[in-house]
């Protein structure tokens, strides 16, 4: 009997969207375990027993637990039948990994930091007095604890915020330029590069339309539309968002999760 495949994930944004899109594109049956980040479920003992870092996504395959969205996606592609999500040549795979590395090291952090700066004070304001501090104390990763505390008190500097905005502007230019050569980011065809970049660009185009729009990035907008109509990506995007403790959700997509 095949090993059971389970995915712990949040709503279809950022790293969770990245893995949900890949698993649906592969067409692999899996057991879904939604984790409600808006209620800080990722820091509760039942989830810390699965990932002591207190982060989603996490893939559990039989006896193996795999973390890190980019690693999970390669693992899924390597382990299961279904349409290949990695290019067939070493050069193609190298190009794909340049994109996934760029997403993990620059594109996603820039959007996450901006989203925290924008949304965290509202989220904290909606919690009962002292609750945020109690929840903060339970975050296992020191670096994340410090960044969230900084965001909650509006502590990021204008220079930092402008730097992240510039990263997003540069990312948009980079994607737009790559798409001049074809329909997908790597010439060989649709791959994990498209999935990784989409997991962030999808939120960027809706939450920061002044940075990514039809006028500035027409090829990117057409590629986003192509991505959204892929059955696997569409299935990932249809995963429901759990309820938030914030009475009136922010107008922009909640990428506070990152």
Ligand X SMILES: N[C@@H](CCC(=O)N[C@@H](CS)C(=O)NCC(=O)O)C(=O)O
Q: For binding to ligand X (CB under 6 A), which residues are involved?
A: 10, 14-16, 37, 42, 54-57, 68-70, 139, 144, 257-258
**Cβ at position 70, least distance to ligand X in Å:** 6
CB closer to ligand X, 28 vs 71: 71
CB closer to ligand X, 16 vs 188: 16
CB closer to ligand X, 70 vs 172: 70
d(CA 170, CA 237) in angstroms, rounded, equals 26
**Cβ at position 143, least distance to ligand X in Å:** 10
Which of 122, 108, 182 has its CA nearest to residue 151?
A: 122
Residue 218 CA to chain centroid, in angstroms? 23
**Cβ at position 127, least distance to ligand X in Å:** 15
Q: Where are the beta strands (DSSP E) in 35-168?
A: 58-61, 64-67
d(CA 194, CA 167) in angstroms, rounded, equals 18
Beta partners for residue 7, in sequence order: 32, 59
The sign of the torsion formed by the CA atoms of 78, 81, 85, 86 equals positive
d(CA 43, CA 55) in angstroms, rounded, equals 8
**Cβ at position 36, least distance to ligand X in Å:** 11
d(CA 98, CA 77) in angstroms, rounded, equals 17
**Cβ at position 153, least distance to ligand X in Å:** 18
Q: Assign residue 239 a region: left if phi > 0, alpha if psi is -120 to 50, beta otherwise?
A: beta
Q: What is the CA radius of gyration of the chain?
A: 18
Residue where the block lists tokens 């893995």: 19
CB closer to ligand X, 94 vs 141: 141
CB closer to ligand X, 68 vs 160: 68
Q: Which two tokens stand for residue 150?
A: 């900084």
CB closer to ligand X, 179 vs 253: 253
d(CA 118, CA 74) in angstroms, rounded, equals 32
**Cβ at position 11, least distance to ligand X in Å:** 9
């Amino acid at each position: 009997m095949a090993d059971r495949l389970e995915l712990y994930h949040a709503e279809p944004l950022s790293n969770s969207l990245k893995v949900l899109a890949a698993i649906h594109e592969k067409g692999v049956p899996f057991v879904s375990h939604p984790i409600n980040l808006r209620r800080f479920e990722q820091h509760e003992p039942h989830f810390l027993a699965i990932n002591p870092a207190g982060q989603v996504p996490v893939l559990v395959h039989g006896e193996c637990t795999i973390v890190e969205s980019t690693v999970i996606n390669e693992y899924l592609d390597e382990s299961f039948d279904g349409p290949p999500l990695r290019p067939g040549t070493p050069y193609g795979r190298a190009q794909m990994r340049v994109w996934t590395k760029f997403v993990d090291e620059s594109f996603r952090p820039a959007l996450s930091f901006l989203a925290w700066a924008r949304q965290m004070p509202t989220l904290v304001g909606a919690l009962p007095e002292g609750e945020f501090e109690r929840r903060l104390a339970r975050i296992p990763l020191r670096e994340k604890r410090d960044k969230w505390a900084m965001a909650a008190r509006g502590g990021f500097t204008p220079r930092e915020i402008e730097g992240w905005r510039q990263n997003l502007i540069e990312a948009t230019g980079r994607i737009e330029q790559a798409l001049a050569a074809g329909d997908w980011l790597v010439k060989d065809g649709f791959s994990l590069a498209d999935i990784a970049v989409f997991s962030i660009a999808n939120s960027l185009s809706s939450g920061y339309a002044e940075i990514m729009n039809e006028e500035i990035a027409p090829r990117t907008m057409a590629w986003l539309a192509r991505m959204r109509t892929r059955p696997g990506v569409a299935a990932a995007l249809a995963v429901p968002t759990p309820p938030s403790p914030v009475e009136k959700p922010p107008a922009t997509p909640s990428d506070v999760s990152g």
